[in-house]
Structure formats: C-alpha cells, structure tokens
Amino acid sequence: MKPREKEPSISPTQLEMTKAMLSAAAQITSAMVTVTTEKNPAKICEAFRVIYKAIADTANPSPRKPA
C-alpha cells in the first residue's frame, strides 16, 4: 500500500471565503425561519431583504478598506 500524501492546508483566502459562506448561510437560515413564522407583511419583506443582501454580499464581496 502506498502511504497517503499529505494534503495541502487551506489558504487564508479559502478560510475567509468559508467563513463568509457560513455567515451568509446562518443569516439566510435565520431570515427563512422568520418568514415561515411571521404574519406581518413588513417583517416578511425585511426577512427577504436580509436573504437577498446576504446572497449579494457573498457573491460580490466589497473590497476591504486599508486600516
């Protein structure tokens, strides 16, 4: 049997993307739960706005400003 080669570690960019995706997924899930339990149309609209914004921010991240 051949020994397994060590896989390369995750890059800092990959780590940041993973964190952003998990954060967006949490925001979307929370907003979806709100939509399923809410009766107020304004709050439903706000929940969908949060979902849309989380997706848009993840798909098109804004450039970071220098500190």
- For residues 29 and 21, what is the distance between their CA atoms, to the nearest angstrom? 12
Whether 48 maps to a domain, the answer reads yes
Q: Whole-structure pTM over 0.85, yes or no?
A: no
Domain that holds residue 39: 27-60
Domain total in the chain: 1
Does the pLDDT at position 45 exceed 60? yes
> Tell me, what's the pLDDT at 57?
81
pLDDT digits (tens, 9 = 90+) for 17-41: 889 888 888 888 888 888 888 888 8
Whether 11 maps to a domain, the answer reads no
Whether 36 maps to a domain, the answer reads yes
- Sequence letter at residue 7: E
Angle between helices 12-37 and 41-59 (to 10 degrees): 170
Whether 17 maps to a domain, the answer reads no
Whether 54 maps to a domain, the answer reads yes
Whether 55 maps to a domain, the answer reads yes
pLDDT digits (tens, 9 = 90+) for 53-67: 888 887 776 665 554
Whether 47 maps to a domain, the answer reads yes
